[in-house]
Chain A
Amino acid sequence: MTEHPEEHAEWGEPEASGQARVAAPVTPADAADAARLVAFGLQPKLQPSRDQEYAELLRRYREDPPFARLADAVATGLGLVVLEVSPRAGMAVTAAEDSVFAVRMGDYARRTAADSTDRFLHGLAHLSVAALAFPRPEDLADDGYIGRVSVNGVDAFVRQACRKLEEQAEEHGENTDPATDAPGLEAAWRIWARRSSTGATKDTRRLASSTTGIVGKAVAFLTDSGFLQRTGDDGGGTYRTTARYQLQVRDMAGTAAMAELLDLGVVPVTDGTATLAPPMDEDAGELVADAGLPFHS
Chain B
Amino acid sequence: MTSPATTDSAPPQLSAGPRPAPGPAADEGLARRLRALACTAPLHDLDVRKANLAGEYSTYGMAEVALSAIDLVTLNMDFDTGADHEQIVARLLPRIAAQAPQRPAAEHERVARWVLENLINVGSVDRGFRAVYGTFATDGSYVRRDYDFKLIEEVPGYGGSVYLRTTDEAVNVLVGALDTDVTSAQIAAEVKLEVLISRGRLADAQLAAEQARYRTVQYSETLRKALDATRRNVRAVDWLEAVPDMIAEALDHVADRYRHENAILTNIRKARDESEDPEQKRRAAELVDIVKDCIRRHTQLQSRLLEAGPLFRAEQDRQAFATPSARAGLDLYGQLVAPLLPLPVESAIKVTDAFFARGTGLRTPVSVRVGDLVDILLTPPQEREHLGIEMPEPDLIATPDDSRFSEQQLAGAKELLDLPPDAPRRLSGLLAEARGRDAELPYLVALLAVHAASPAVGTAYRQGEEKLLFAVDDGTELDDPEFGGADLIVGTALLDAAGMAADRTEAA
A interface residues (Cβ-Cβ under 8 A, vs B): 42, 44, 80, 93-95, 97, 99-103, 105, 107-108, 116-117, 119-120, 122-124, 126-128, 130-131, 134-138, 140-142, 152-153, 155-158, 160-165, 173, 175, 177-181, 183-192, 194-200, 204, 206, 209-210, 212, 221-222, 225-227, 233, 236, 244, 248-250, 252-261, 263-264, 266-267, 273-274, 276-280, 283, 287, 289-297
Stretch binding the partner chain, chosen from B279-287, B316-324, B431-439, B444-452: B316-324
Q: Which residues of B contact A196 (CB under 8 A)?
A: 120, 126-128, 150, 153-154
Instruction: Report B-chain residues with C-beta under 8 Å of the C-beta of A198.
Output: 154-156, 162
CB-CB under 8 A for A116 and B345, given A175-B145, A260-B351? yes
Stretch of B60-68, B70-78, B224-232, B477-485 lying at the A interface: B224-232
Q: Is the CB of A123 within 8 A of B352?
A: yes
Complex Cα distance A145/B336, Å?
A: 20
| B354 near A225: Cβ-Cβ < 8 Å | no
B341-A187 in contact (CB<8A): yes
Q: Which among B148, B228, B231, B336 has the highest number of chain A CB atoms within 10 Å?
A: B336
Separation of A161 and B336 alpha carbons in the complex (Å): 12
Chain A residues whose CB sits within 8 angstroms of the CB of B160 once the complex forms: 204, 206, 233, 236
Q: Do B358 and A188 touch across chains, with their CB atoms under 8 A apart? A: no
The answer to whether B362 and A178 touch across the interface, beta carbons within 8 angstroms, is: no
Q: Does B146 contact A (CB under 8 A)?
A: yes
Which residues of B sit under 8 angstroms from A137, Cβ to Cβ? 328-332, 334
Determine whether the beta carbon of B336 is less than 8 Å from that of A293.
Answer: no
Cβ of A225 and Cβ of B331 under 8 Å apart? Answer: no
In the complex, the answer to whether B126 meets A120 with C-beta atoms within 8 Å is no
CB-based contact A292/B145 at 8 Å = no
Contact residues, B119-135 vs A (CB, 8 A): 120, 122, 125-128, 132-133, 135
A interface footprint on B213-229 (CB within 8 Å = 1, 0 otherwise): 00000000000010011
Instruction: Specify which chain A residues have a CB less than 8 angstroms from the CB of B360 in the assembled complex.
Output: 103, 108, 126, 221-222, 225
Partner of A140, one of B155, B329, B362: B329
Residue pair A188, B334 in contact (C-beta under 8 Å): no
Given A124, A183, A290, A297, which contacts B228 in the complex, CB threshold below 8 Å? A297
**A184/B344 in contact, CB under 8 A:** yes
A44 to B362, CA, bound (A): 9
Q: Which of A135, A161, A179, A252 meets B341, CB within 8 Å?
A: A161
Known contacts being A255-B330, A293-B234, A295-B318, is A101 close to B362, with CB within 8 Å?
A: yes
**A292: shortest Cβ distance to chain B, in Å?**
5
Pairs across A and B, CB under 8 Å, 12 listed: A122-B352, A127-B356, A135-B333, A137-B328, A137-B331, A178-B146, A184-B345, A190-B148, A194-B128, A256-B357, A258-B336, A295-B233
Do B336 and A249 touch across chains, with their CB atoms under 8 A apart? no
| With A184-B344, A292-B333 as contacts: A225 and B318 at CB distance below 8 Å | no
* Shortest beta-carbon contacts, A-B, top 5: A123-B352, A253-B359, A138-B325, A225-B361, A184-B346
Residues of B whose CB lies within 8 Å of any CB of A are 28, 31, 85, 120, 122, 125-128, 132-133, 135, 143-148, 150, 153-156, 159-160, 162, 225, 228-229, 231-236, 315, 318-320, 322, 324-325, 327-365
Given contacts A101-B364, A103-B363, A292-B338, A250 and B330 within 8 Å (CB-CB): yes
Residues of B contacting A185 in the complex (Cβ-Cβ under 8 angstroms) = 344-346
Q: What CA separation (Å) do A200 and B154 show in the bound complex?
A: 8
User: In whole Å, how far is B225's beta carbon from the nearest beta carbon of chain A?
Assistant: 8
Bound together, the chains give a CA A203 to CA B129 distance in angstroms of 24
If A123-B356, A261-B351 touch, does A279 touch B235 (CB 8 Å cutoff)?
Answer: yes
Contact check, B352 vs A127: say whether CB atoms are below 8 A apart: yes
A225 touches B348 (CB 8 A): no
* B340 A261 Cβ-Cβ under 8 A: yes
Most A CB atoms within 10 A — which of B85, B153, B333, B343? B333
Closest B residue by C-beta to A176: B145
Question: B154 is contacted by which of A192, A197, A259, A289 (Cβ under 8 Å)?
Answer: A197
**Most chain B beta-carbon neighbours within 10 Å: one of A44, A122, A126:** A126
* Residues in B whose Cβ lies below 8 Å from that of A44: 361-362
Further contacts, 18 of them, CB under 8 A, given A196-B126, A296-B231: A95-B363, A100-B365, A103-B363, A105-B356, A116-B345, A161-B341, A162-B341, A196-B150, A197-B156, A212-B156, A222-B361, A225-B362, A257-B336, A257-B354, A261-B339, A266-B339, A277-B331, A295-B315
A188 to B127, CA, bound (A): 18
Q: A156-B228, A179-B143, A257-B355 are in contact. Are A188 and B345 (CB under 8 A)?
A: yes
> What chain B residues lie within 8 Å of A107 (beta carbons)?
363
Q: Which residue of A lies closest to B35 (CB)?
A: A177
The smallest C-beta distance from A74 to any residue of chain B, in angstroms, reads 15
Provided the pairs A94-B362, A197-B153, A295-B232 are in contact, do residues A254 and B357 lie with their beta carbons within 8 angstroms? no
Contacts of B353 on A, CB cut-off 8 Å?
Answer: 105, 119, 123, 260
Q: Which residues of A contact B145 (CB under 8 A)?
A: 175, 177-180
Contact of A141 among B327, B354, B357, B361 (CB under 8 A): B327
Contact assessment for A295 and B348 in the assembled complex, using a CB-CB cutoff below 8 Å? no
State the Cβ distance, A22 to closest chain B Cβ, in Å.
31
A175 to B147 CA separation, bound complex (whole angstroms): 10
Residues of B within 8 A of A186 (CB): 146, 344-345
Taking CB atoms, residues of chain A closer than 8 Å to B120 are: 196, 199
Residues of B within 8 A of A248 (CB): 358-359, 361
Q: Let me know if A141 and B329 touch, CB within 8 A.
A: yes
Q: Kindly list chain B residues whose C-beta atoms are within 8 Å of the C-beta of A140.
A: 329-330, 332
The reply to whether B332 and A134 contact each other, CB–CB distance below 8 Å, is yes
Q: Which residues of A contact B154 (CB under 8 A)?
A: 196-200, 210
- Given A101-B365, A187-B345, A200-B162, A130 and B127 touching (CB < 8 A)? no
A136–B341 CB distance below 8 A? no
Query: Can you name the residue of chain B whose Cβ is closest to the Cβ of A246?
Result: B329
Establish whether residues B357 and A97, one from each chain, have CB atoms under 8 Å apart when the complex forms: yes
Determine whether the beta carbon of A95 is less than 8 Å from that of B349.
Answer: no
CB distance from B129 to the nearest CB of A (A): 10
Query: What is the minimal beta-carbon distance from B167 to any residue of chain A, in angstroms?
Result: 11
In Å, the complex CA distance between A102 and B350 comes to 17
B143's nearest neighbour on chain A, judged by CB, is A179
Q: Which residues of A contact B126 (CB under 8 A)?
A: 194-196
In-complex Cβ contact of A157 among B232, B348, B352, B355 (8 A): B232
Q: Which of B122, B126, B332, B336 has the most CB of A within 10 A?
A: B332
Give B145's nearest chain A residue, CB to CB: A177
Q: A116-B345, A160-B233, A277-B335 are in contact. Are A290 and B352 (CB under 8 A)?
A: no
Taking a contact as CB atoms under 8 Å apart, the answer to whether A295 and B337 are in contact is: no
Contact of B355 among A80, A95, A123 (CB under 8 A): A123
Question: Which chain B residue lies CB-closest to A200?
Answer: B162
